[in-house]
Amino acid sequence: MKRIPIVKLEDLTPDQRRAYDSIAATRDGQVLEVFMALMHSPELSRRTQYLGEYLRYFNCLEPNLSELAILVTARHWDCDYAWHYHEPDALAGGLSPEIIAAVKERRQPDFKDPDEAAVYAYVYELQVERHVSDDTYQKVVDALGVTAIAELTALSGYYTMMAMTLNEHRVPLPAGAKRQLSG
């Protein structure tokens, strides 16, 4: 079945162009395909970018924890697009290749860092069980605090929305990129 088209730069309406320029200003001039898929609703695309910018770059979590949460969410949704962009960021943020491989292969990672273990358990339960146990919840609060658990929940929710958008509108991977996740 044909899905909605990704809006092309040359076809932008004035409202879409304003949204595009607003997004480009926050991303070093780049507007990813996911935002062009959302551009059918320019305001949705713009506001989605702003929320994502905050959750990705300005949350209170260390990069290894933030990227771990994103990878667990991307893996749950089999979202190759998100995985493609975030696996390198996870490595750069200090997440070990062994943990990344375990998440990719749907295996329980062997954590040395208790904060990583707590974040993994929280996001995994949130995605798979749709609810988090009191014990897991408390471990995150004790380790990272209430601001962190609020932002961690929102981060996983945001990347759930992005995965749904990417998967269901069949946004293609960048040229030359290969699928890395299987069902």
**CATH code at position 145:** 1.20.1290.10
Within 8 A by CB and 6+ apart from 48, the residues are 35, 38, 161, 162
Q: Shortest CA distance to 63 belongs to which of 99, 102, 91?
A: 91
Domain count, the chain: 2
Q: How distant, in Å, are the alpha carbons of 72, 134, 143, 150 from that of 138?
A: 20, 6, 8, 13
Say what the pLDDT of residue 1 is: 67
Whether residue 50 is found in the same domain as residue 134 = no
Picking from 18, 36, 57, the residue at the C-terminal end of a domain is 57
Mean pLDDT score, 142-147: 98
Angle at 141 between CA 89 and CA 86, to 5 degrees: 10
Residue 94: pLDDT over 90: yes
pTM of the model: 0.93
Mean pLDDT score, 125-129: 97
Structure tokens at 156: 């996983």
Whether residue 53 is found in the same domain as residue 120 = no
Whether residue 40 is found in the same domain as residue 92 = no
Q: What is the mean pLDDT of the chain?
A: 95
